Amino acid sequence: MHEPSAANRYRTLDLAAVPALLAGLGAVRERLGGRPADWRIREVGDGNLNLVFLVDGPSGSVCVKQALPYVRAAGPSWPMSLERAFFENAYYQAVGPYVGRRIPAIYHYDPDLYCTIMERLSPHIILRQGLIAGNVYPDLAEHMGEYVARACFFTSDLSQGCERKMSGVALFAGNQALTRISIDLIFSDPYLASERNRHTSPHLDALVHELRRDADLKIAVARFGRKFLTQAEALLHGDLHSGSVMVADGDTRVIDPEFALYGPIGFDLGAFFGNLLLNAYAQPGHATAADDRRSQQAWVLGQARRFWLTFRARFLDLWREHGAEGYPGTLFAEAADQARIEAAREDYLRGVFADMLGFAACKMIRRILGFAHVLDFDAIEDAARRADCEAHALEFARRLLKDPGEFASIDAVIDAVSRTA
């Protein structure tokens, strides 16, 4: 499928190796300008899995991202397939034609070094940090709603023949190491007394104990875990939380698609939506005497609402315009058919909405009880105050999973969060 040309050419890059690598790539060298000695290089990786170098030259800059063979946060004792860099690049190539400037430009992929050389985004920051800081990004929801609509629609059965999609499914079914991580960390570990877990203790101990004994909750989570593995609707980013989005004034970019796989569209939607809700629940923890964060919280919830509404409107538009494989005109030629097809499309989107809420809830819970937490809560220093925010988020996620019938519309969801956050 993707045999490296020399399996043992892999080596971990460092500040000396990066310029040597880039010097050999004519287009990259030209983009940076000057000579390698003129380039300024910094390692800035703050994620769990990769080295990230920013390289500035006299004329321009690039970003170099290399996969490490272990989970960085855990060290070499937790090995991790390098192939994820291959799948990240494959995802960018697959959605690139449809999503325009919402992803960074990719300049080069080195299959031996599992290393991508791409556009350096500047002055962008990670969305999660911007939201915690109380920043406002007026186009965020529309950019992201349109992004998911386009990336998912154009890789789904609604827009392409089965052959192309099956080839994509075959390719990304190789991304097993990272899918295993999702399965374990989202759908299983948070409900076990696993060594990898942590939570704000002792404040949340009783609630965590209760959640881990809630069979109906765990059955709902297991159902979404199965859906994640079986419902191959579209190519997904696979980890579309607010740490996988970079923002600057008027610009929004999606990064880090190494968990890419074919799955339910609601999984990507739920990752982004759920992380906005986590941020909304965390806002009271960041309140100061000067700013109670109520207006920031209302803005974040407004973005969550617009994210769904934008996705929904764009996805329907794309389906109407390009959905030859959805309800082909050859089969539905009568004028009277159109209203029925429209109703069928709305019905499909009701299912996607329910999936979004279920996956959002799974992801909210795992970020409070599981291995990888979010800075939205972790940055709240006072543990009692943090636990209070986390408890409200957990209780709401539990309602989403156990009483989905309560949440038939986006307004019902946003209202409920507003009342409990």
Binding residues for a copy of itself, per CB under 8 A?
Answer: 1, 157-158, 161-163, 165-167, 169-171, 173-176, 179-180, 183, 188, 191-192, 213, 215-216, 218-219, 222-223, 226, 229-233, 326-328, 330-332, 334, 336-337, 340-341, 344
User: Which is closer to a copy of itself, CB of 141 or CB of 232?
Assistant: 232
Give the residue carrying structure tokens 């989970």: 71
Question: Angle at the Cα of 182 (from 179 to 187), degrees rounded to 5?
Answer: 130
Q: What is the dihedral of CA 333, 150, 99, 275, to 10 degrees?
A: 170
Contact predicate 106/34, CB 8 Å: no
Q: Is the peptide bond before 19 cis (omega within 30 degrees of 0)?
A: no
Q: How far apart are CA 215 and CA 39, in angstroms?
A: 57
Helix (H, G, I), strand (E, B) or coil at 29: helix
Give the residue carrying structure tokens 């999660």: 128
Q: Least distance (Å) from a copy of itself to the CB of residue 262?
A: 9
Q: Any idea what DSSP says for residue 78?
A: S
User: Which is closer to a copy of itself, CB of 262 or CB of 307?
Assistant: 262
Q: Least distance (Å) from a copy of itself to the CB of residue 357?
A: 19
Using CB atoms within 10 Å of the CB of residue 341, give its burial: 0 to 12 exposed, 13 to 18 middle, 19+ buried. Answer: middle
Q: How far apart are CA 133 and CA 130, in angstroms?
A: 5
Residue type at 348 in one-letter notation: Y
Q: How far apart are CA 414 and CA 208, in angstroms?
A: 25
Helix (H, G, I), strand (E, B) or coil at 123: coil
Token output for 364: 């909210």
Q: Least distance (Å) from a copy of itself to the CB of residue 366?
A: 14
Query: What Cα–Cα distance (Å) separates residue 345 from each residue in 202, 232, 316, 332?
Result: 47, 18, 7, 14
Q: Least distance (Å) from a copy of itself to the CB of residue 221?
A: 9
Q: Least distance (Å) from a copy of itself to the CB of residue 253?
A: 29
Q: How far apart are CA 217 and CA 187, in angstroms?
A: 11
**Considering Cα of 177, then 182, then 184, then 187, what sign does the dihedral take?**
negative
Question: Angle at the Cα of 122 (from 121 to 126), degrees rounded to 5?
Answer: 70
Q: How far apart are CA 67 and CA 360, in angstroms?
A: 27
CB neighbours (10 Å) of residue 95? 24
CB neighbours (10 Å) of residue 101? 11
